[in-house]
Amino acid sequence: MGADQNFDWRHAAASAIDWWREAGVDATIDEAPRNWLARVAATPVVETAPDVVAPFVLPDTMDAFLAWRSGPDAPEAGWPEQMIPAQGTVSSDLMVLVDLPEREDAATATLMSGAVGRLFDRMLAAIGRDRNSVYLAAVCTARPTSGRVTPEMEERLHELVRHHVALAAPKRVLLLGNAPSRALLGADAARARGGLRTLNLKVGTVETEIEAVASFHPRFLLEKPAFKAEAWKDLQMLIGGLDS
């Protein structure tokens, strides 16, 4: 039989070309000869070294540390309550640590305000001191909304307060309450009190030896006045031989 006289070769060719175009063929003629059996060289993969982030190192001078501690990178930055920095004489031989600011402290920007502060002042006066002759700081520089520091942040704050004490390098440090006692002695005040504890702290390559006394926070003494006699024993131990 002969070929179909009605077969449209142009339509068939166009249909074939459309099929190849849809298959991804974008050229019908290549002027340069090509060896289709030759292996295609693999494109080399260039590996870039990951960025190395240097570990953060706390400032090793007091001025730089205090600026960082009250700046935007401090753990408490951005909290609703303002941060209250350390107060008193940095070079004092006696440093006092509390847990965090009182509710009244934000209004005065002063640590230990209100009734707690008045009892604290009387405790200092009993050993011949005042706020100007000690260096007063808080483990947590701002008051959390809940009034308590979360366990996740506690370890970081402990690291910071140990660094702070090491930079201050007082002869002795009074730890008022559980948070300061846990940070430096690893135990609550009730368990850690009763003696002078020796601390070996290090900043960079410099090591310093400091004596610590743990005692009750004035907040606790206001709630349980019966413990004031025990607190007085702690204060006597703290000041004994310090001015000699």
Report DSSP letters for 50-73, one per residue: PPPPPPP---SSHHHHHHHHTSTT
Tell me the CA end-to-end span of the chain in Å, nearest whole number.
Answer: 130
Contact 115, 157 (CB under 8 A): no
CA pair distance 92, 103, nearest whole angstrom:
27
pLDDT of the residue at 129: 97
Distances (CA, A) of 25 to 15, 35, 66: 14, 18, 69
Element (H, E) at 163: helix 151-168
Q: Which domains does the chain possess?
A: 84-239 (3.40.470.10)
pLDDT of the residue at 197: 95
Tens digit of pLDDT at every position of the chain (244 positions): 555 556 666 666 666 666 666 666 665 556 666 666 667 667 777 777 666 666 678 999 999 999 999 999 999 998 999 999 999 999 999 999 999 999 999 999 999 999 999 999 999 999 999 999 999 999 999 999 888 888 889 999 999 999 999 999 999 999 999 999 999 999 999 999 999 999 999 888 889 999 999 999 999 999 999 999 999 999 999 999 887 6
pLDDT of the residue at 242: 85
pLDDT of the residue at 94: 98
Contact 143, 105 (CB under 8 A): yes
pLDDT of the residue at 243: 74
pLDDT of the residue at 19: 64
**Residues shown for the chain:** 244
